[in-house]
């Protein structure tokens, strides 16, 4: 049956099991319209408008090819309302307590009045869609239909979900607003590949009331497309709220400089970070994809100083595609910025070593930290391996060795030692580094045996122009790399030493070069 209904005053009830089709605009002008149970009404090519305190009650199937507009009055959905375009609510939009009640919406949802969701489901079935208006919509169930790159947006207003949120395969962009899931069931959010993205202080908030693990499926399509979730595991069963946003940018651009960190760390992830919110302790878990993000072994929080601060020893779990890091009972959310980080590795190649000519020695190198990407000895000569921590060395002459370890693009560390080949009792290093780190900060001849006495001793150093810059007659005095109180340039310097042992008549002279490095 086909009818054309424009203006209705009074009560109309559609009880037909077959479809009732209305071609053109269906305008409820102060009337009562009821689509009864098992009834079907289709409004083709135009909209349904409820005005002048009209009342439209749907107990069956209502299909609207264009908009559903409630200007003044009530639209009460008790079964299924399928709207191809936009829902505009200026007055009163209600739904039944029956959980089978559903709104299927093809375009946007605009609520400027009162929306009572009951136990209904709102299904956003279109591609890119907006939730907007001047009144917050509190959905009972919200289902997002579509596939990437479809985006459902909050436009300048928050939204609540009081029962369940199904993200499907889409991006739900809160922008600078909040999407609040108020049902404390840890399974209240479902997804396939969908995620929630946000900007600035916008975020996904979840209510909790158990010690179960709550997933925050945060991601972003701004720049590199990333899904990097967060998990909170509260330490109590009381009512709490936690929030999360993936900031898919270098944290420096939002005021959290990744070059500022404490002495425990050597790098903070510049690719992305999270803003996290909480009001009580919880185990906090972050995820990364080593193929895309590199490898990280620490978690950092922006604090006080201000700088990035190590959060303690995390528990690491390797998975595919994600590796997770988790710290327990975290309670400091004063600043919301959290990021992956790398701890400063520790490297020690041991003290200087003395050997007789033709002998060998093992270098007792020790390393702790993230697995390195590169290990290089310089020079690489006379070593059993030049890419290991503890090679066997067989130098023919006194040699200064440096081991450089690179973790990734952000972290590197080095340490040095000298292996002295003993053809004399007095030896001099070939390089030193007066940088105040306590290693090789001074340059002086090394006397192999502390019991040796000298009748005479002179040690002098000249720069490349032959200018005397250091001289001493004290066997224990070292050059600190300065001249007239100023730091000397990084360069090669020539040294001379003249000495005579207490029990010998022969005056010995030695000459060589030393490289000043820092």
pLDDT tier at 40, thresholds 50, 70, 90: low
Strongest mean pLDDT among 23-27, 70-74, 99-103: 99-103
pTM for the whole thing?
Answer: 0.77
Q: What is the pLDDT of residues 74-104, one digit of tens each?
A: 999 999 999 999 999 999 999 989 999 999 9
Kindly tell me if the per-residue pLDDT of 489 is higher than 90.
yes
Kindly tell me if the per-residue pLDDT of 379 is higher than 90.
yes
> Whose CA is closest to 195, among 224, 166, 223, 175?
166
Q: What is the pLDDT of residues 261-299, one digit of tens each?
A: 999 999 999 999 999 999 999 999 999 999 999 999 999
Q: Which distant-in-sequence residues (6+ apart) come within 8 Å of 342 by Cβ? A: 265, 266, 267, 295, 296, 297, 298, 370, 407, 408, 410, 411
Q: What is the pLDDT of residues 192-214, one digit of tens each?
A: 999 999 999 999 999 999 999 99
Kindly tell me if the per-residue pLDDT of 304 is higher than 70.
yes
pLDDT of residue 60: 85
Tell me how far apart the alpha carbons of residues 130 and 121 are, in angstroms, rounded to a whole number: 17
Tell me how far apart the alpha carbons of residues 447 and 442 are, in angstroms, rounded to a whole number: 14
Kindly tell me if the per-residue pLDDT of 33 is higher than 70.
no
Q: Which distant-in-sequence residues (6+ apart) come within 8 Å of 409 by Cβ? A: 294
pLDDT tier at 458, thresholds 50, 70, 90: very high
| pLDDT more than 90, % of the chain | 71
Instruction: For residues 495-511, give the mean pLDDT.
Output: 86
pLDDT of residue 518: 80
pLDDT of residue 29: 53
pLDDT tier at 5, thresholds 50, 70, 90: very low
Find the radius of gyration of the CA atoms of the chain. 37
Instruction: Classify the C-alpha dihedral 162-122-110-144 as positive or negative.
Output: positive
pLDDT tier at 37, thresholds 50, 70, 90: low
Q: What is the pLDDT of residues 307-331, one digit of tens each?
A: 999 999 999 999 999 999 999 999 9
Domains annotated on the chain, with CATH? 345-422 (2.60.40.10), 424-518 (2.60.40.1220)
């Amino acid at each position: 049956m086909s009818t054309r209904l424009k203006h209705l005053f009074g009560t109309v009830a559609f009880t037909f099991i077959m479809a009732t089709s209305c071609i053109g605009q269906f305008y409820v002008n102060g009337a009562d319209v009821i689509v009864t149970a098992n009834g079907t009404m289709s409004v083709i090519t135009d909209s349904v408008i409820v005005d002048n305190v009209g009342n439209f009650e749907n107990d069956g199937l209502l299909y609207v090819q264009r908009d559903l507009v409630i200007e003044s009055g009530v639209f009460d959905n008790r079964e299924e309302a399928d709207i191809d375009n936009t829902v505009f609510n200026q007055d009163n939009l209600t739904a039944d307590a029956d959980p089978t009640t559903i709104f299927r919406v093809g375009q946007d949802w605009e609520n400027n009045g009162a929306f009572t969701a009951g136990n209904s489901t709102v299904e956003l079935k279109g591609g890119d869609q907006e939730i907007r208006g001047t009144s917050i919509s509190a959905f009972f169930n919200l289902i997002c239909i579509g596939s990437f790159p479809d985006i459902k947006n909050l436009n300048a207003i928050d939204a609540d979900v009081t029962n369940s949120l199904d993200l499907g395969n889409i991006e739900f962009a809160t922008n600078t607003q909040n999407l609040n899931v108020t049902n404390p069931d840890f399974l209240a959010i479902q997804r396939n590949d969908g995620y929630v993205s946000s900007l600035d202080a916008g975020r996904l908030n979840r209510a909790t009331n158990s010690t179960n693990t709550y997933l925050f499926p945060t991601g972003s399509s701004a720049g590199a497309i990333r899904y990097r979730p967060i998990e909170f595991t509260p330490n109590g069963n009381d009512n709490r709220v936690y929030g999360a946003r993936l900031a898919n940018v270098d944290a420096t651009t939002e005021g959290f400089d990744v070059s500022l960190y404490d002495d425990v760390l050597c790098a903070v992830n510049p690719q992305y970070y999270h803003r996290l919110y909480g009001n009580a302790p919880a185990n906090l878990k972050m995820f990364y994809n080593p193929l895309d993000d590199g490898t990280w072994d620490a978690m950092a929080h922006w604090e006080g100083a201000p700088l990035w601060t190590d959060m303690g020893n995390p528990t690491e779990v390797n998975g595919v595609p994600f590796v997770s890091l988790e710290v327990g009972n975290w309670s400091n959310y004063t600043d919301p910025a959290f990021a992956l980080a790398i701890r400063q590795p520790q490297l020690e190649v041991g003290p200087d070593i003395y050997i007789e000519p033709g002998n060998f020695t093992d270098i007792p190198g020790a390393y702790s930290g993230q697995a390195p990407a590169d290990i290089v000895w310089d020079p690489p000569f006379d070593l059993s391996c030049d890419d290991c921590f503890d090679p066997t060395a067989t130098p023919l002459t006194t040699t200064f060795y440096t081991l450089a370890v690179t973790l990734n693009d952000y972290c590197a560390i080095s340490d040095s030692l000298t292996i002295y080949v003993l053809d004399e009792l007095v030896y001099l290093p070939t390089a030193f580094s007066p940088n105040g780190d306590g290693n090789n900060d001074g340059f002086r001849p090394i006397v192999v045996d502390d019991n040796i006495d000298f009748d005479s001793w002179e040690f002098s150093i000249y720069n490349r122009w032959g200018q005397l810059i250091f001289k001493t007659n004290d066997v224990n005095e070292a050059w600190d790399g300065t001249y007239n109180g100023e730091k000397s340039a990084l360069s090669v310097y020539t040294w001379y030493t003249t000495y005579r042992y207490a029990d010998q008549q022969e005056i010995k002279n030695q000459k060589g070069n030393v490289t000043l490095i820092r």
